């Protein structure tokens, strides 16, 4: 299994500011994902973080709002830009591995609880 | 109708009871996850399965592909099992990472 850590674990931010969330995995993994869980809702995939290239965003999410970096196979960051109260959510990093072309496993991080005032 | 349905939505049990949480889905899947989310928000992957049955400690997960149904069982439940349990499926042919999540079952185990 993969052990995932996220920083910060929680934060309270002012409207209009930006927050960068870090995700560190203890082993090299093929895939890294960022999810959002709004209050009372299921998880929603924001994007797949690609090593060395631009992330692949899901419908409804754009790079200007959620820039993502993935400089290597064990680390990624998600920035929530120009925050508004609607961005208050839990943001989760998730990793997966591939075997024979198919996704083999998926693990989730502890999450970052963001409150925007 | 949601593609992934869980039942019950809420469950209260006494310590020591045997617990079953159900998950039904309507799409073809390549794998099904059972996840545990504690009040702080962090998610722990309990099981990923595509057939049969898996056991880890007091937890057992089963899946019936033909019936499109999975169950998560907890034997000898304990207050520390109190959490939200989420069923998520990987849609066959869907993009990796794009799981379809159930709404979760909130379990409370009383001492």
CA distance B37 to chain A (A): 9
Query: What's the confidence (pLDDT) of residue A106?
Result: 81
Q: Are A55 and A46 in contact (CB under 8 A)?
A: no
Residue among A31, A42, A110 minimizing CB distance to B101: A42
Confidence band of B94 (pLDDT split at 50, 70, 90): low
- Of the two residues B51 and B1, the one the predictor is more confident about is B51
CA distance A7 to A112: 7
CA distance B74 to B12: 13
Whether A115 shows a pLDDT value over 70: the answer reads: yes
Residue among A1, A45, A112 minimizing CB distance to B97: A45
- A1 to B95: CB separation less than 8 angstroms, yes or no: no
Mean pLDDT of A96-108: 72
Query: What's the confidence (pLDDT) of residue A26?
Result: 92
Q: How many CB pairs under 8 A join A and B?
A: 64
Confidence band of B99 (pLDDT split at 50, 70, 90): confident
pLDDT, tens digit, for every residue of A76-99?
999 999 999 999 999 999 998 766
Query: What's the confidence (pLDDT) of residue A102?
Result: 62
Whether A14 shows a pLDDT value over 80: the answer reads: yes
Residue among B42, B44, B103 minimizing CB distance to A42: B103
Residues of chain A whose C-beta is under 8 A from some C-beta in B?
Answer: 1, 9, 31, 33, 37, 42-43, 45, 48, 58, 90, 92, 94, 96, 98, 102-103, 105-113
Tell me how far apart the 2 most distant CA atoms of chain B are, in Å: 44
pLDDT, tens digit, for every residue of A54-84?
899 999 999 999 999 999 999 999 999 999 9
CA distance A108 to A96: 9
What mean pLDDT, rounded, does chain A reach? 91
Q: Are A108 and A33 in contact (CB under 8 A)?
A: no
pLDDT, tens digit, for every residue of B18-75?
999 999 999 888 889 999 998 877 888 899 888 999 999 999 999 999 999 999 999 9
CA distance A52 to A102: 21
Query: What's the confidence (pLDDT) of residue B93?
Result: 64
Plot region of B79 (φ>0 → left; ψ -120 to 50 → alpha; else → beta): alpha
Q: Are B12 and B63 in contact (CB under 8 A)?
A: no
Helix (H, G, I), strand (E, B) or coil at A81: coil
Query: What's the confidence (pLDDT) of residue B43?
Result: 86
Query: What's the confidence (pLDDT) of residue A30?
Result: 79
């Amino acid at each position: 299994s993969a052990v995932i850590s996220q920083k910060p674990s929680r934060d309270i931010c002012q409207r209009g500011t930006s927050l960068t969330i870090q995700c560190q995995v203890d082993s090299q993994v093929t895939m890294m994902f960022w999810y959002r869980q709004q209050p009372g809702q299921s998880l929603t995939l924001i994007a797949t973080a690609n090593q060395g290239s631009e992330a692949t965003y899901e419908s409804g999410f754009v790079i200007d709002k959620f820039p993502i970096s993935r400089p290597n196979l064990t680390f990624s960051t998600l920035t929530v830009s120009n925050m508004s109260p609607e961005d208050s959510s839990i943001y989760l990093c998730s990793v997966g591995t591939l075997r024979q072309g198919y996704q083999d496993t998926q693990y989730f991080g502890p999450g970052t609880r963001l409150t925007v005032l | 109708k949601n593609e992934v349905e869980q039942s019950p939505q809420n469950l209260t049990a006494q310590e020591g009871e045997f617990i079953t949480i159900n998950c039904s889905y309507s799409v073809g899947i390549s794998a099904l996850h059972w996840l545990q989310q504690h009040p702080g928000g962090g998610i722990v992957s309990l099981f990923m399965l595509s057939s049969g049955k898996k056991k880890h400690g007091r937890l057992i997960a089963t899946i019936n592909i033909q019936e499109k149904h999975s169950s998560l069982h907890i034997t000898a439940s304990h207050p520390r099992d109190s959490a939200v349990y989420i069923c998520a499926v990987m849609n066959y042919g869907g993009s990796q990472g794009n799981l379809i999540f159930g709404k979760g079952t909130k379990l409370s185990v009383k001492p």
